Amino acid sequence: MSTAPTVYDVAERSGVSIATVSRVYRNPDSVRAETRERVLTAARELGYVPSGNARGLASRSTGVLGLCFPDYGDPDAEATEAEDEDAATLYSDQIIRGMERAARRHGYALLIAASLKGGPESLVAKVAGRVDGFAVLARTVPTQELEVISRRQPVVMLAGPRENDQLDHLDHIEVANFDGQHELTRHLIEDHGLRRLAYIGSVEESPDVEARFRGHLAACRARGVDVGDEPDLRVALMTQAEGERAVDALLAGGGEPPEALVFANDQMAVGALHALQQRGLRVPEDMVVTGFDGIPLSRLVRPALTTVRQPMLRMGEEAVELLVKRLSGARDAEPVSLMLPVTVVRRGSCGCGEKQETEPGAR
Amino acid sequence: MSTAPTVYDVAERSGVSIATVSRVYRNPDSVRAETRERVLTAARELGYVPSGNARGLASRSTGVLGLCFPDYGDPDAEATEAEDEDAATLYSDQIIRGMERAARRHGYALLIAASLKGGPESLVAKVAGRVDGFAVLARTVPTQELEVISRRQPVVMLAGPRENDQLDHLDHIEVANFDGQHELTRHLIEDHGLRRLAYIGSVEESPDVEARFRGHLAACRARGVDVGDEPDLRVALMTQAEGERAVDALLAGGGEPPEALVFANDQMAVGALHALQQRGLRVPEDMVVTGFDGIPLSRLVRPALTTVRQPMLRMGEEAVELLVKRLSGARDAEPVSLMLPVTVVRRGSCGCGEKQETEPGAR
DNA sequence: GTGAAAGCGCTAACAG
DNA sequence: CTGTTAGCGCTTTCAC
């Protein structure tokens, strides 16, 4: 593999100038058909492929959009190609797919990178330097670094609430966590007449998870249902295993057991379903269970899980739309903030037989 | 957003030369600590982000690996955010995840793009021009184009058999389709004593799917089981819906019904499970069903599906390893061809109660 | 340890 | 329609 051929080589071989070679690729119609063919032939013979870098440099644009997401779990932990895979199939994969799809529609490719740590040269910087604009999953990147970068190119922040500090000039997309949980809890209280609800959250300080809990709180309080300021239980990881453990913890103590277990995500809820089954408790007759996220698994378990579906795919698409909009003119427009509506999916685990969907008031 | 600051701006502001600014980013230790700080400070104040393009141009490398995959389904068909999503979650998503993970380990980012059609400037060319090397899912890209590109940079071909023609210098990773199906069919015949097997394939000319059928054939013939030269049925799409239809087609005709339905993928098999259930037929008592792929759904359906699990995640990882190896020296080494072993997963749908796994002879 | 200068391969006016 | 000419922003010897 010698040195790759350049426009000069192609130009020389086809007897035209480099400008013409360039035109053939950028705007074929602006070159006479015959000339074009000569150039293309020469290029083929030489094995010429235009350098994206040189192009980007000269034209100040890359035709690539980016996505930075957190490094879920360490890459060396060879996950058992079965169990955990489903779990991870959530967030980032869906967003990636949504972005890829939308990007393609607009003629962009997608550059993805999970966070790495490094010297002055961090992940974002690397991505930022190679794309026209990018999306960041909340809390993936140091605020200050993002601030600097976002001064130079469009960035959209995904999930999480709008950052309080200096990032308020970024476009931003979040999901109606509060509304979703609020509606779900309301449903349990009003439609199913439940009063003793146990909420299982996470110790992790995720704004999204917190918003869900606040939705739960609000729904309870508005209806005089007894509820503390804190989740009844906070787990470390929000996994199925933790969900199973949660059941033990909540049913172990004396006193009257709850009528419903309201989980902050589907994974835990699924784990709970297992644990409950093993204890010989029926869902929903003996105990109602609900989740949050709407992962594929949620509708496959028995009973199917009542949950709140997050539109992650759509989030990815919207992110691209926002970026594309900025890139085509509206660079200095006011920052946009989208709140994507969620869907409450009522299924067997709360006692609703047929699947029903509700979309709580999204703004 | 004015013009982005460059090394010159940073150099001027910090009172050093552009060379020093460059060094601070490429090799921090080669610059005196004090100087380095001055530069970094200036950079921060200015909002400087190194241009990946300029870097790539100057250093002839991008730090990015690529993946081209086919455009499954049209992007405008807003899939019902539930049904079809699971299906698509297969192939490309898993590969993407595997590649991303491995790429990250090696300090690379990943550029992904689904096929688009376009002028002389096709998808691959775009990707190729922006990465140091890339993987292509078989049959995503015109052979000739690939041939040209692969003369200039490492390319690894994923799935599909090694292309016969001029692409035999590419590294190549495939999955043991033949072995996997062979072992599965053998299992049905020898361990379950079945003799009347119906194979459901695809009209599409996929080499992978063909290899599976050949594995089936070989297993049958070696044991004197009656089987034709062609699948008993070829469907158009390999979807759940087609799987349901297949059941109708195969059970409609007079004559003795088959004892087992051997599907070329899991999707169809799952559809068949539904259809069978609706007809009041029990699986596996009345009819054995098997799939191929090992999608998450396969272990969630009831009865759980006996299938052959493909290591797509690993394929992504191996692809990156191959690329990295080429990029770090072994550019002219002999082309490598990997055959990844598959795993036969015995579950309820063939009559095996407990889950058992077998890895047929992979080379 | 730091500076000067020469490109990397391409696009983009501007002439012809 | 095609050629000429400047850069685009950074890395990289080679001196100092």
Tens of pLDDT, residues A64-114: 999 999 876 544 334 443 444 444 455 788 899 999 999 999 989 999 998
Which of A1, A40, A148 shows the shortest C-beta gap to B47? A148
- Tell me what the pLDDT averaged over chain A comes to: 88
Q: How does pLDDT run across B142-182, given as a tens digit for each residue?
A: 888 888 899 889 999 998 777 666 778 899 999 999 999 99
For chain A, what percent of residues have pLDDT higher than 70? 90
pLDDT of residue A239: 87
Taking 50 as the threshold, does the pLDDT of residue A362 lie above it? no
At B357, the pLDDT band (50, 70, 90 cuts) reads: confident
Q: How far apart are the first and last CA of chain B?
A: 57
Query: Residue B97 is inside which H or E element, if any?
Result: helix B91-105
pLDDT of residue A116: 65
**Region B21-44 average pLDDT:** 94
HSE-CB for B323 with a 13 A CA cutoff = 33
Q: Does domain B58-176+315-340 fall into CATH 3.40.50.2300?
A: yes
Judge: B112–A100 Cβ closer than 8 Å, yes or no: yes
CATH-assigned architecture of domain A177-311+343-358:
3-Layer(aba) Sandwich (3.40)
Task: Check residue B265 and give left, alpha or beta (phi > 0: left; psi -120 to 50: alpha).
Answer: beta
Q: Comparing A343 with B357, which gets the higher pLDDT?
A: A343
C-alpha dihedral (A76, A77, A81, A83), degrees to nearest 10: -150
CATH 3.40.50.2300 residue window(s) in chain B: 58-176+315-340, 177-311+343-358
At A15, the pLDDT band (50, 70, 90 cuts) reads: very high
Closest residue to C3 measured CA to C1′ = B17
Q: How does pLDDT run across B206-226, given as a tens digit for each residue?
A: 888 999 999 999 999 999 999
Q: Comparing A127 with A84, which gets the higher pLDDT?
A: A127
| Structural class in CATH, domain A1-48 | mainly alpha
Taking 80 as the threshold, does the pLDDT of residue A305 lie above it? yes
Are β-strands A197-202 and A109-114 bridged in parallel, bridged antiparallel, or unpaired? unpaired
pLDDT of residue B239: 87
Chain D positions with an atom below 7 A of a protein C-beta are: 1-5, 7-13
pLDDT of residue B302: 82
Judge: A113–B114 Cβ closer than 8 Å, yes or no: no
Q: How does pLDDT run across A215-271, given as a tens digit for each residue?
A: 999 999 999 999 999 999 999 988 888 999 999 999 987 788 999 999 999 989 999
Identify from A130, A146, A295, A327 which residue to disrupt to test chain B contact, counting B C-beta atoms within 10 A and taking the largest count: A130
pTM assigned to the model: 0.88
Residue A24 contacts B where some CB pair is shorter than 8 Å: yes
pLDDT of residue B78: 40
For chain B, what percent of residues have pLDDT higher than 90? 66
With a CB-CB cutoff of 8 Å, which residues 143-172 of chain B face chain A?
144, 148-149, 151-153
CATH 1.10.260.40 residue window(s) in chain B: 1-48
Taking 90 as the threshold, does the pLDDT of residue A132 lie above it? yes
Structure tokens at A207: 């704004």
pLDDT of residue B355: 61
pLDDT of residue A120: 47
Chain B partners within 8 Å of A85 (Cβ) = 94, 296, 313
Secondary structure of residue A343 in the 3-state scheme? strand
Q: Comparing A340 with B204, which gets the higher pLDDT?
A: A340
Q: How far apart are the first and last CA of chain A?
A: 57
Residues 6+ apart with CB under 8 A from A195: A189, A225, A226, A259
pLDDT of residue B17: 95
Q: How does pLDDT run across B290-345, given as a tens digit for each residue?
A: 999 988 778 878 899 999 999 999 999 999 999 999 998 778 889 999 999 999 99
| Structural contact between residues B243 and B180, judged by C-beta atoms closer than 8 angstroms | no
pLDDT of residue A92: 82
